[in-house]
Structure 1
Amino acid sequence: MGRTSDAREKLIEAARELMWERGYADVGVQELCQRAGVRPGSFYYFFPSKADLTVETLEAHWQAHEGQVLAPARQIPDALERLRFVLQKTYEHHVTTRQSCGRAGGCPFGNLSGELMALDPAIREKLLEIFERHYTFYEQLLTDAQAAGQVSLDDGPVRARALFAFLQGMQMLAHTHNDPEWIRLLAPDAFRLIGAPVPAFP
């Protein structure tokens, strides 16, 4: 197998790629080990089950999303520009993945939620934890927009969840139609949902 220091990370990265490409059920331990360059007998040294690996994979997806999208967005003082940045990055990500692998992959959290929420309590708990992190991001965004007089809301926490659900729906349509243009087409409605002026969106 790979060096002990990196075999675990290679398995997580293999799971990120394969489960995002094809889903949880269609990817077996043997294929994960082949992609990672790890011997099958060593898989269970790192993970008691494929479900345990999936929990770690979800966290890895979150860390990538946090580092590439949410952390840079938090540095933008204007809350509505922050939202435009997230939508732009989401669109660009789907365009890039469609060019590289022939399909708009959708959101890994939304994809696995639809497939796995009822199957494994640990995976469900992890997904809910990650959803809460998203809610916190959008709640703060709306709080900042309200403080700046950009929106007027009396249901910020609920509207933050509606905004997250809307973004998930856009990505589901892009994934289903294999067309990132659904994100570009619907992005202005994210601003209408919160009663904000609609900015230019490429």
Structure 2
Amino acid sequence: MTTSERLVEATRELLWERGYVGTSPKAIQQRAGAGQGSMYHHFAGKPDLALAAIRRTAEEMRAAAERVLAGESTAYARVEAYLRRERDVLRGCPVGRLTMDPDVMADDALRAPVDETLDWLRDRLAGILREGVASGEFDAALGPERTAAAVVACVQGGYVLARASGSAAMFEAAVDGLLALLAERRTA
């Protein structure tokens, strides 16, 4: 791994663990095993490095979601696969946690990949749910856009419940509840 890659990976981990303010250039350098000169050779400063890290995290989240959302199975099965995919629930969502970081949300450039990723996820899920309505799998009253927003909210809220209780069971309970509600809208 190159020095710039180590810096980005270290920043990603630190942002997830500590947030933007808690991610100091010194901590990044120590975690990456890189000197100050190397950091500033590859990146203009902490905001530039944080942006690269947030973009990488967002790309990986989209790729992980797409792996389970793509395919030929039913709309319900694809949404269920997304909800039940393996996650480090007690650690939380590396993208979702950034929405609670006031420094990230106050910076348009840092916030943009977060917004884009959550928008992409809602749109992708809504498209799958629209397919389910069009094929007759779900009843026409499902409301794909609002249901997609509920799926994303369930995942993000499930992380919060699990972290607060110290138990992944709370995340699983939220997923089970949403899937039960979604199953009630199935026509087939």
- After TM superposition, is the score higher than 0.5? yes
Corresponding residue of 1:38: 34
2:11 pairs, out of 9, 15, 39, with 15
1:177 pairs, out of 144, 165, 171, with 165
State the secondary structure of the residue aligned to 1:27.
coil
Identity %: 27
Corresponding residue of 1:133: 120
Corresponding residue of 1:94: 88
CA distance in 1 between partners of 2:180 and 2:128 (Å): 15
Contact 2:58 2:114 (8 Å CA) reproduced: no
Judged with a 3 Å threshold, the aligned counterparts in structure 2 of structure 1 residues 65 and 127 are, in CA distance, closer, same or farther, namely closer
Corresponding residue of 1:105: 91
**Residue deviations 1:33-74, cap 9 Å, x none?**
111121112212222232222222122122322333322331
**Residue deviations 1:106-147, cap 9 Å, x none?**
111111111135431211222111111111211112112212
| 1:50-129 equivalence runs, <5 A | 50-89=46-85, 92-94=86-88, 104-116=90-102, 117-129=104-116
User: How many residue pairs are counted as aligned between the two chains?
Assistant: 184
Unaligned runs of 5+ in 2: none
1:189 pairs, out of 171, 177, 180, with 177
Judged with a 3 Å threshold, the aligned counterparts in structure 2 of structure 1 residues 72 and 159 are, in CA distance, closer, same or farther, namely closer
CA distance in 1 between partners of 2:96 and 2:184 (Å): 28
Q: Which amino acid aligns with 1:126?
A: P
Contact 1:73 1:85 (8 Å CA) reproduced: yes
Report the Cα offset of residue 187 of structure 1. 0.7
Report the Cα offset of residue 179 of structure 1. 1.8
Unaligned runs of 5+ in 1: 96-103
Judged with a 3 Å threshold, the aligned counterparts in structure 2 of structure 1 residues 126 and 63 are, in CA distance, closer, same or farther, namely closer
Corresponding residue of 1:100: none
State the secondary structure of the residue aligned to 1:196.
helix
Q: Which amino acid aligns with 1:137?
A: R
Q: TM-score, normalised by structure 2?
A: 0.85
Judged with a 3 Å threshold, the aligned counterparts in structure 2 of structure 1 residues 168 and 137 are, in CA distance, closer, same or farther, namely same
Judged with a 3 Å threshold, the aligned counterparts in structure 2 of structure 1 residues 65 and 31 are, in CA distance, closer, same or farther, namely same
Corresponding residue of 1:26: 22
Judged with a 3 Å threshold, the aligned counterparts in structure 2 of structure 1 residues 129 and 68 are, in CA distance, closer, same or farther, namely closer
Once the two structures are overlaid, the 10-residue window that deviates more, 177-186 or 153-162, is 153-162
Contact 2:68 2:82 (8 Å CA) reproduced: no
Contact 1:20 1:108 (8 Å CA) reproduced: yes
Q: Which amino acid aligns with 2:177?
A: D
Corresponding residue of 1:163: 151
The RMSD of aligned alpha carbons is 2.3
CA distance in 2 between partners of 1:64 and 1:21 (Å): 17
